Amino acid sequence: MKHTLFVLALALGCSKKSSSPPPAAPEPAPEPTASTEPPPAAPTPAPEPVKAEEPAPPPPPKTATATLAPTKKSKSKVTGTISFKEVADGVEVTANIENLKAGDHAWHVHEKGDCSAADAASAGEHFNPAGAAHGAPDAPAHHAGHYGNLTAGKDGKATKTFVMKGITLGDDANSIVGKGFIVHAKKDDLKSQPAGNAGDRVACGVIERAP
Ligand SMILES: [Cu+2]
Ligand SMILES: [Zn+2]
């Protein structure tokens, strides 16, 4: 009997629970009452010219190239292409040079874009708008427009990409456009004056702004 009562109480408890009303369903949104009034006339804006006010795209970066040819006197066969692109802090240089003797070679931007002499002496001295001493690119004073040495492999090829700081491809005094690009027979010691004891000029090219 006791047991039956317990079961009954349980059942009652359950039925009480299950008989509790379900949660009230959300009331349906009131139907929009059909209005007899016409909807307010939408203001008719004057047709605006569809002209997106986007900022003008930035101008493409200034670029230039130099095509190297061997100097007659050196009897070298050094050729190559140097590409220049103006970047935020200087000019990015990409050099692809061939037919070098394996090892390090000085290269510099020289002050004149004139490769006519057999030894390329016509290209003048190092491009040096600041009147500084010749030195390593990270030295406090150095010539603008060169950056260490190029290193040729056993195949005679040298490729290098780097940023030369402090120069431009613009129309200002630090621009290397119209200057000469010279590759030397020897390594630049980065201290001998005025030109790093770099030996003969084995190839020369004029830095020309890309069209
Ligand atoms: Cu030089
Ligand atoms: Zn120099």
Element (H, E) at 86: strand 79-87
Q: Which ligand is nearest to the CA of 148?
A: 2
pLDDT at 44: 72
Q: Provide the pLDDT confidence category of residue 6 given band limits of 50, 70 and 90.
A: very low
Q: Distance (Å, rounded) from C-alpha 38 to C-alpha 177?
A: 72
Contact 56, 119 (CB under 8 A): no
The string of pLDDT tens digits covering residues 135-167 is 888 888 889 888 889 999 999 999 999 999 889
pLDDT at 46: 72
pTM of model > 0.75: no
Contact 206, 178 (CB under 8 A): yes
pLDDT at 25: 58
Distance 5 CA to ligand 1 centre (A): 111
CB-proximal residues (5 Å) to ion ligand 2: 126, 134, 143
pLDDT reading at 10 higher than 50: no
CB-based burial label for 186 (10 Å; 0-12, 13-18, 19+): middle
Locus of tokens 């009652």: 12
pLDDT at 5: 46
Distance 143 CA to ligand 2 centre (A): 5
The string of pLDDT tens digits covering residues 32-49 is 555 566 666 766 767 666
pLDDT reading at 16 higher than 50: no
Range from 30-34, 61-65, 121-125, 154-158 carrying the lowest mean pLDDT: 30-34
Q: Provide the pLDDT confidence category of residue 29 given band limits of 50, 70 and 90.
A: low
pLDDT reading at 102 higher than 70: yes
Distance 156 CA to ligand 2 centre (A): 24
Pick 181 or 136 by higher pLDDT. Answer: 181
Q: Which ligand is nearest to the CA of 196?
A: 2
192: tokens are 């001998």
Q: Distance (Å, rounded) from C-alpha 138 to C-alpha 85?
A: 21
Distance 71 CA to ligand 1 centre (A): 13
**Mean pLDDT, rounded, for 12-29:** 52
Locus of tokens 């095509």: 67
Distance 146 CA to ligand 2 centre (A): 7
Q: Which long-range contacts (CB under 8 A, 24 or more apart) does 71-76 make?
A: 71/115, 71/118, 71/119, 71/120, 71/200, 71/201, 71/202, 71/203, 71/204, 72/118, 72/119, 73/118, 73/119, 73/200, 74/119, 74/185, 74/200, 74/201, 74/202, 74/203, 76/185, 76/202, 76/203
pLDDT at 23: 57
Backbone angles phi, psi at 122, to 5 degrees: -60, -20
pLDDT reading at 203 higher than 90: yes
93 secondary structure, DSSP code:
E
114: tokens are 């004139």
Locus of tokens 């390594």: 187
Distance 87 CA to ligand 1 centre (A): 24
pLDDT at 53: 77
